[in-house]
Structure 1
């Protein structure tokens, strides 16, 4: 293969495709895993949707396990930076902003992956577990900034509320986040000193 040919890959129908195969594969994974689940989506279907050959797919990912893990990493690689890395917000505002979820957001992809895979040692299961711990840690950090007496406990409580609201929204097909946000506000206001609501 020449250098110019190496910049292209051949799709499953034999037509030439430009660069960007990795992004197309991840884009197809994002759509198909969300629509029909991880277990029901095979590599053949993913390759067809991404318009790449299986050979090309395996040049970018060692296998489906690695693809699933990378799919999860793409959702929030910096762990809610748009919520917690906002110096213009008070600690209380940061904690409650975590519950500002668009109505009827699909089930959390990290929960969905862990439930589907049934394997705690799967790369995606490990990543989902690490991500969930990181969310609780970021909540605890904000609680600590706000002067909470037990920031780790408040972080775990709020993380549990987030996950519960995501699951309940999916099961009942009704937005549970406003209720979760109200409970979160009560917990936060009880845990933080009154000055935390206005201080930076």
Structure 2
């Protein structure tokens, strides 16, 4: 039996075209931006025809939207849902990810139309991210969890953007600032290393 031909990304042609399109979109959007990525290039890298692409997505806008939906639908579950960490540790663990520039930030910068689905998805994701921080801050016993959640979300976004511009270890600096914000916001006992603050145990 003849082995199926492989496309530019080493993925088999004729199978998983939708997935190949989304993998290509993730690669191209990250490396050169959304606006600089055309349909022809997207098809070439994914190893599909335009006809195939439009069978799966009605437009490039739909590719962008699905790319964003798949980025982090559960909002860092490996951090915020980790039962092995205290609430304080979970708040700070988000700064240890060292992720590349958040695609929601990139999309919001590149796409000016406020009604574009990518803008709505970006707003929803950033709101949900701050909420995750706030819920964890509340569990840790913070007096003003929504305020702390917004501060930490803003700090993390800033670290992501600054790291992209300067290629520096911005997350390490952000983590140090986050520790100060968290410890100032939590009750003294909860801020102590190893304390199970806010868990009731």
Under a length normalisation based on structure 1, what TM-score does the superposition of the two structures give? 0.88
* Counterpart position of 2:75: 79
Cα drift, residue 36 of structure 1 = 0.8
- What is the alpha-carbon distance in structure 2 between the residues aligned to residue 181 and residue 68 of structure 1? 31
> CA-to-partner distance for each residue in 1:81-104, whole Å, 9 max, x for gaps?
1110011111100000010023xx
> CA-to-partner distance for each residue in 1:69-116, whole Å, 9 max, x for gaps?
1111221111111110011111100000010023xx432111011001
- What is the alpha-carbon distance in structure 2 between the residues aligned to residue 81 and residue 129 of structure 1? 19
- What is the alpha-carbon distance in structure 2 between the residues aligned to residue 177 and residue 189 of structure 1? 18
Cα drift, residue 118 of structure 1 = 1.3
Indicate whether 1:94 and 2:59 are aligned.
Answer: no
8 Å CA contact 1:90–1:196 kept in 2: the answer is: no
Any residues of structure 2 matched to 1:1-200 within 5 Å, and which?
Answer: 17-102=13-98, 105-197=99-191, 198-199=195-196, 200=199
**1:98 aligned counterpart, secondary structure:** helix
- What is the alpha-carbon distance in structure 1 between the residues aligned to residue 115 and residue 190 of structure 2? 40
Structure 1 vs Structure 2 CA RMSD: 1.6
Cα drift, residue 196 of structure 1 = 2.5
- What is the alpha-carbon distance in structure 2 between the residues aligned to residue 133 and residue 113 of structure 1? 15
Unmatched tracts of structure 1, length 5 or more: 1-7
8 Å CA contact 1:140–1:156 kept in 2: the answer is: yes
Unmatched tracts of structure 2, length 5 or more: none
- What is the alpha-carbon distance in structure 1 between the residues aligned to residue 181 and residue 33 of structure 2? 34
Under a length normalisation based on structure 2, what TM-score does the superposition of the two structures give? 0.88
**1:58 aligned counterpart, secondary structure:** helix
List 4+ stretches of structure 1 deviating above 3 A: none
- What is the alpha-carbon distance in structure 2 between the residues aligned to residue 89 and residue 173 of structure 1? 30
